[in-house]
Structure formats: C-alpha cells, structure tokens
C-alpha cells in the first residue's frame, strides 16, 4: 500500500519545457555503471518508466537494442522526442501511459526497466510486481536518483551554491508551506525505494553509487528552470502570480551572486538494482 492518490494530470503541468534546462544531470559514469551491473551488450530492450523528457532513455539507448520511454504527461514526451533527436538516438519510442497500466500496454519483454526519480510517484509494490512479469530471466529493475548523503560535500567550481533555503522560503510565501502537488498536496515522504522492493518478488536490492558531477554551474535562468521543473513549484500553481514569483526569485539570486552564477551540487547518482532470477 502506498496511499498514493490517483494520477493527477496537472502534476507537472507547464514543467516539461523547463526540465532539461534546469535539472542537474546524472553522473557521467551512469551508463557505464548500469551497463556493467546489468551486463548490457546492445541486445536487450529497455523500458524507462516515468521517463519525463527522456534523460535516462536517451542515455541508455546506445547500450540496448531498443528503448521505450513511458510517461503519462504528453508535454514530457514531446520534450523527450526532441531530446533524443538532438542526441542522435534513433532506437527509442515514446508511449503515453502510467506505470500502473504496464500490464495492459503490451510493451513486450525487457532486459532492463528503469525509473529515474519516478518510482515514488507510482503504486510502487504493484508496479514493481508488474515490472517483474515484464522482465526476461536475469533482467533488472533499476531505480536512479541523486543523493547528497554518500560522502562529505565535494569542492565546487567556486560560485556560491544555489540558495535552496531562501528559494524554498520564497515558494512558501507564494504557495504556502505545505508542499503542493497537482490540484492537491504531496503526501508524507514514504519509506525508501529499497524497502518497497523488499516487499516484492525482487527482494533485497543492491546499491551502486556513481560519482555525481561537481562542475554544474547554473545562471538565474537555470535556477528558475530547475524549480519550475518540480511538481511542487510547477508554473500552473502560481496562476497570475508567476511573473511576480520569477521577478522575486531573480532578485533573490542577484543579491547572492555578483557573477550571477551558482554551483549546483545534486549529489552522487544513486542506483538501486534488483534482478529477476535466471
């Protein structure tokens, strides 16, 4: 049981256009790490669930035969198709749908099923069980996210860090202190992904940490895009106060960095993997 409400199509309304510009990328070693862990040799199929603008699908498509990106948000899929085309990735197709609909989508079988910062949005145990059914023997479910807890903070490129606390306080002043989510509110944080997987046929997963990029620098457009790409700060939530929020955010940023640049440290890339037995 997740206590997750039914999918709300306004969850990321207006966010897709900001996502690739604003969200910090995963580790440069992600593809290598997943390929090694899951013995990818260019022959299997990949399903990327909650693919958003296609970051993981496009990154991993070169090490599989065919990739499918699945997401309920049509604007995210439009961004994903553009992103893949720009990256020269041609072996990926995009399907609009929810993770919970996987059993009905006739997607075929897969070597690898990934979730990049999306597993928590789904009915996790039920979805993991349907992923288990889709995997070929020896195939893997892989959950990817950022984590700042894996080591002491590294040294950055010398710019001030993104002032997240000040920005969150500004968001609170516009939207209230309870985190928004679509037409409602985000539920309380659930337990870790690993705990949910343990409750399924996958059992105990393993964890691999890929070093995060310490060199990500954002200007104020990038910081703004980062926040507008988040469900709790999606553009639609501000209604006709969006311009005012943007202006205040830019002022907040200008006060904190004379160069207008900020260090974005997303943390290392945390990769949680569980295999279906052969």
Ligand X SMILES: C[S@@+](CC[C@H](N)C(=O)[O-])C[C@H]1O[C@@H](n2cnc3c(N)ncnc32)[C@H](O)[C@@H]1O
Strand order across the 92-96 sheet: 92-96, 66-71, 45-49, 110-116, 135-147, 268-275, 206-210
Nearer to ligand X, 73 or 275 (CB): 73
50 makes contact with ligand X (CB under 6 A): yes
Q: By C-beta, is 87 or 260 nearer to ligand X?
A: 87
How far, in whole angstroms, is CA 266 from its chain's centroid? Answer: 12
The window from 33-41, 68-76, 166-174, 270-278 that contacts ligand X (CB under 6 A) reads 68-76
- In whole angstroms, give the CA distance from residue 40 to residue 57: 14
124 alpha-carbon distance from chain centroid: 15
Binding flags for ligand X, 84-113, as an x/- string (CB under 6 A):
--------------xxx-------------
* Per CB under 6 A, 52 contacts ligand X: yes
What is the nearest approach in angstroms of ligand X to the Cβ of residue 120? 9
Q: 260-275: string of b/e by CB count within 10 Å (b at 16+)?
A: ebbbbbbbbbbbbbbb
97 touches 50 (CB < 8 A): no
Write down the least CB distance from residue 190 to ligand X, Å: 14
Contact between 182 and ligand X (CB under 6 A)?
no
Q: How far apart are CA 16 and CA 76, in angstroms?
A: 5
Residue 268 touches ligand X, criterion: CB under 6 A: no
End-to-end CA distance of the chain: 28
Q: Check residue 116 for interaction with ligand X (CB under 6 A).
A: yes
Q: Which residue is nearest to ligand X (CB)?
A: 116
Which CB atom, from 49 or from 64, has the smaller least distance to ligand X?
49
How many residues of this chain interact with ligand X, rule: CB under 6 A? Answer: 22
Do residues 84 and 61 lie in contact, with contact meaning Cβ atoms separated by under 8 Å? yes
Count of CB atoms within 10 A of residue 259's CB?
Answer: 10
The smaller minimum CB distance to ligand X, of residues 51 and 261, is found at 51
- Restricting to residues 122-161, which ones interact with ligand X according to CB under 6 A? 122
Site for ligand X in 185-244 (CB under 6 A): none
- Which segment (51-59, 179-187, 195-203, 248-256) binds ligand X by CB under 6 A? 51-59
CB 22 within 8 A of CB 227: yes
Choose which of 44, 72, 205, 235 interacts with ligand X (CB under 6 A).
Answer: 72
In a 3-state reduction of DSSP, which class is residue 90? Answer: coil
Applying CB under 6 A, the residues found at the interface with ligand X are 7, 11-12, 23, 49-52, 55-56, 71-73, 76, 98-100, 116-118, 121-122
């Amino acid at each position: 049981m997740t206590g997750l409400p039914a999918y709300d199509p306004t969850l990321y309304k207006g966010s897709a256009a900001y996502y690739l510009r604003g969200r910090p990328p995963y580790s440069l070693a992600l593809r290598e790490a997943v390929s090694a862990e899951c013995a990818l040799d260019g022959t299997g199929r990949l399903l990327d669930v909650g693919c958003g603008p296609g970051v993981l699908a496009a990154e991993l498509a070169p090490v599989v035969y065919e990739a499918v990106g699945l997401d309920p948000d049509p604007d995210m899929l439009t961004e994903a198709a553009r992103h893949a085309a720009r990256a020269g990735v041609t072996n990926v197709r995009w399907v609009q749908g929810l993770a919970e609909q996987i059993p009905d989508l006739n997607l075929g079988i897969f070597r690898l099923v990934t979730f990049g910062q999306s597993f928590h949005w789904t009915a996790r145990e039920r979805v993991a069980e349907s992923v288990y059914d889709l995997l070929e023997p020896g195939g893997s479910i892989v959950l990817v996210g950022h984590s700042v807890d894996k080591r002491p903070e590294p040294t950055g490129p010398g710019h001030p860090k993104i002032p997240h606390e000040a920005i969150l306080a500004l968001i609170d002043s516009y939207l209230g202190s309870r985190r928004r989510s679509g037409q409602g509110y985000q539920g309380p944080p659930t337990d870790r992904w690993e705990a949910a997987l343990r409750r399924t046929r996958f059992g105990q997963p393993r964890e691999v940490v890929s070093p995060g990029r310490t060199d990500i620098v954002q200007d104020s457009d990038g910081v703004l895009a980062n926040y507008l790409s988040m469900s709790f700060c999606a553009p639609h939530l501000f209604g006709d106060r969006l311009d005012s929020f943007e202006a205040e955010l830019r002022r907040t940023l200008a006060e904190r960095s004379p160069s207008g640049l900020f260090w974005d440290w997303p943390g290392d890339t945390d990769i949680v993997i569980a295999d279906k037995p052969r």
